[in-house]
Structures are given as structure tokens and as C-alpha cells.
Structure 1
């Protein structure tokens, strides 16, 4: 998608601190971290919101969760971490390309805010 910030990051048009990449996902450090570890995991396929996922995306969504688990181990988050995805305006979504926040490195609070 032409005007999508995350699509531009994937394409290398906007710089990001890459943590991981494979043929399906791209992960990079959040520019405004809320925890010592704060990584965004995004699918390379543009999907605007969680509501736009369909049955053909099931494998991709599973791959994202496997990637989150793998990155948590690599980033030494063995004491615990959080994976969050915001959906639409009231859910706090600001970039309309689904993404998952992997946060950890400190005691997480509930409710988050």
C-alpha cells in the first residue's frame, strides 16, 4: 500500500532498527518504547486491521505468534512478556497495518491503561 508507514519500512524506504525478518514478517524496535524491550512484529502482507483478517491468513497469524515466541527467547524475556495488537481508533491503533507489540524486560501491569 503506497501511503502505509509500515509498508514503507518493509520496503526499506523508511529506516527502522530491524530485529528480525523472514519471507512473511518483519520485526523492528518501536521508536517510542514503553518497556526495556519493545519490538513491533508486522506481516509483510498489508492487512489494515485485525477485522480484515480472513481464513487464508490463519497460517500467517500463527507464524507471527511463533515469531513472537522465538524473539522473546532471543531477547532474554524468560521472566515474561506481553504481545498486544490494537484494533481501530478506540482500541488505540494508530498505524493501519496490523502489528503486534512484543514488550518485556520489566514487570508488566494490568490493566495496561
Structure 2
């Protein structure tokens, strides 16, 4: 019987306490950010290996997104400041989201 370990993405999603969901870039990293602004290289240089990860992510309202996983809210803020092109994927602002306070992405009183 072969024993397999779970994919690293699944392990990281459970382990990292901070997750920021981001909309993808229309043309990809190279075209939209340039060859000198690779998010993976930035993570390695500025946060260090094992302190943050960037994985593909998608839902019905965000087809080509990313999830930035890290160990602290400060690191998430640093990443967003370094890459303002990435927009936070706020699912509560979509027509798919409903709660007692939000109907189809519209908040009461707005």
C-alpha cells in the first residue's frame, strides 16, 4: 500500500494563519508586472522561504485569482503594498453573496 502525503497547497492552506484572496491579472505576471517584479521572488527575498506562499485560487465570481498565505497580517500588508496591481477579491460585494446584512452584494444603508 502506497502512502501519499497531501499536496503542499492543502498543507499550507491549513497551516498559514493569514489568507488574502486576490483577483488575478489579465495578462499574467510577466506582462502586467514586468520581468523584474515576480511575486514569488519578492516573497523569497522579503519574507523568506516558508513564511509565505502564493497559489492559484478561483470561485464562480473570481476565475483567475490567487491566494496569498502568510504568517502575519503585517506580511500581507507588505505584499499588497509591493503589488498594488493585485486587488483583494471581496466576495461579499458580489451578487452571489447573501447574509442578514448583505443581499446580492448590497449592504443595508448603502
TM-score, length of structure 2 as denominator length: 0.30
